[in-house]
Amino acid sequence: MTYPVLIIGGGLAGLTTGIELSRAGIRVLLIERKNYPHHKVCGEYISNEVRPYLIKLGLDPAIMGAAEINSFRFTSPKGHILDSPLQMGGFGISRYQFDDHLYQLAQASGVEFLLNTTVSDVHWIEDHFIVQTATGDEFKVEVVIGAYGKRTRLDRELKRDFMQQTSPYMGVKYHIRYEFPKDTIALHNFKNGYCGISAIEEDKYCMCYLTERSNVKKYGSIPEMERHVLAQNPHIYNILREAEFLYESPEVINEVSFAPKKAVVNHVLMTGDAAGLITPLCGNGMAMAIHGGWLAAQEIIDYFSGHRNRRQLEKGYTRHWKKQFSNRLWVGRNVQRMFGNETLSEFALHFFGLLPPLLRLVIRSTHGKPFHV
């Protein structure tokens, strides 16, 4: 079968690109390896930088039942607290709900879907792609978008640089019920990691942490690591003791890499985490995925309207992507160095406590401006 555009991966980046292209009259096939709805490891706090865009698209966070979040609590491994308003703020909604709302919007916009299907290979042949799935389907395509997230086997097939190194990071997520202010996102530090907690829909909370696999290896299992390492922070200790955990077991992902990536690889336009993952402590990877999806779609619309050739499409997309996101990714990587190190995060808490404008500046530099179209 032949398509002008094929999108690999139906997370926030892929769905946004699909909606924009379909609404511009371009036929799109989106291949997603899972079905909707599904859970994902994510802190589920979305920066308000994309709120105006989402409302315009037809997804109002208030109507979806999202929690409104406008303050930030930072605690050190010893439990010291620093509170700060969040200038731009954001909202909390589970990926289970949010991705599903976006999927329904994409369907209504005319995006064609192939679900429960994994793309296994993408070959560039002179002026088009051949895309193959694990179930043996084959598509001839003019433009391919890689929106398949942090790391997949496709990255190995495409020989991407960051696949040469293993990453020590893993992510763990629960949904819980707990007494905590609904308007606050807390970031609790512990040895070799940090844990976010914030409200989502239906009086639930998302608790999600990033740590190093060596912590689990040392203690033998996730619950034992939580007991010995995370619970050293008294705030996490209270959550583990008092909260009602709503899953039998947590969602877990391994090999979370923050290494720099390229926005175009073998003519595939990468977007969302496939183009670069910001460290979760910045809390705006989802906003970047949505913004990146929009950006990719605009470049492709220009290409199909005859204003650009393929070389211009690839160069233009790379330039715009870097301009929009490179600095934020760099700041995120460097701020993360302070977290997980007990002495440094204790120092950071006291330092930013004395200089609140500096804390606001750091938060601002990892976020974009509100994104209007």
Binding site for ligand FAD (CB under 6 A): 8-14, 31-34, 40-46, 118-119, 147-149, 152, 154, 171, 196, 208, 210, 256, 272-273, 277, 280, 283-287, 289
Distance, in Å, from the CA atom of 190 to the CA atom of 193, rounded to the nearest integer, reads 5
Rank residues 305 and 327 by Cβ distance to ligand FAD and give the closer one.
Answer: 327
> In the Cβ-directed half-sphere of 143, how many Cα atoms lie within 13 Å?
27
- Least distance between ligand FAD and beta carbon 219 (Å): 19
Widest distance between CA atoms in the chain = 62
Contact partners, residue 12, CB within 8 Å, separation at least 6: 98, 99, 102, 272, 286, 289, 290, 293
CA-to-CA separations, 108 to 103, 216, 319, in angstroms, rounded: 9, 43, 32
Distance, in Å, from the CA atom of 349 to the CA atom of 235, rounded to the nearest integer, reads 15
- Least distance between ligand FAD and beta carbon 354 (Å): 27
Distance, in Å, from the CA atom of 240 to the CA atom of 236, rounded to the nearest integer, reads 6
- Least distance between ligand FAD and beta carbon 206 (Å): 8
Distance, in Å, from the CA atom of 8 to the CA atom of 92, rounded to the nearest integer, reads 26
- Least distance between ligand FAD and beta carbon 95 (Å): 7
- Least distance between ligand FAD and beta carbon 311 (Å): 25
Distance, in Å, from the CA atom of 251 to the CA atom of 253, rounded to the nearest integer, reads 7
Q: What angle do the packed helices 285-304 and 12-23 form, to 10 degrees?
A: 30
- Least distance between ligand FAD and beta carbon 334 (Å): 17
- As a whole number of Å, the CA-based R_g of the chain is 20
- Please count the other Cβ atoms lying within 10 Å of the Cβ belonging to residue 118: 17
Rank residues 182 and 310 by Cβ distance to ligand FAD and give the closer one.
Answer: 182
Rank residues 41 and 143 by Cβ distance to ligand FAD and give the closer one.
Answer: 41
Beta bridge partner(s), residue 45: 92
Rank residues 32 and 299 by Cβ distance to ligand FAD and give the closer one.
Answer: 32
Q: Which two tokens stand for residue 117?
A: 């299907």
Residue 358: phi, psi to the nearest 5? -70, -40
- Residue entry with tokens 């090999």: 255
Rank residues 9 and 77 by Cβ distance to ligand FAD and give the closer one.
Answer: 9
Distance, in Å, from the CA atom of 349 to the CA atom of 346, rounded to the nearest integer, reads 5
Rank residues 205 and 308 by Cβ distance to ligand FAD and give the closer one.
Answer: 205
3-state SS, residue 295: helix
Rank residues 200 and 308 by Cβ distance to ligand FAD and give the closer one.
Answer: 200
Rank residues 150 and 308 by Cβ distance to ligand FAD and give the closer one.
Answer: 150
Rank residues 41 and 141 by Cβ distance to ligand FAD and give the closer one.
Answer: 41
End-to-end CA distance of the chain: 33
Q: Is the peptide bond before 37 cis (omega within 30 degrees of 0)?
A: yes
Rank residues 90 and 308 by Cβ distance to ligand FAD and give the closer one.
Answer: 90
Q: CB–CB of 18/77 below 8 Å?
A: no
At 99, which amino acid appears? D
Distance, in Å, from the CA atom of 246 to the CA atom of 330, rounded to the nearest integer, reads 35
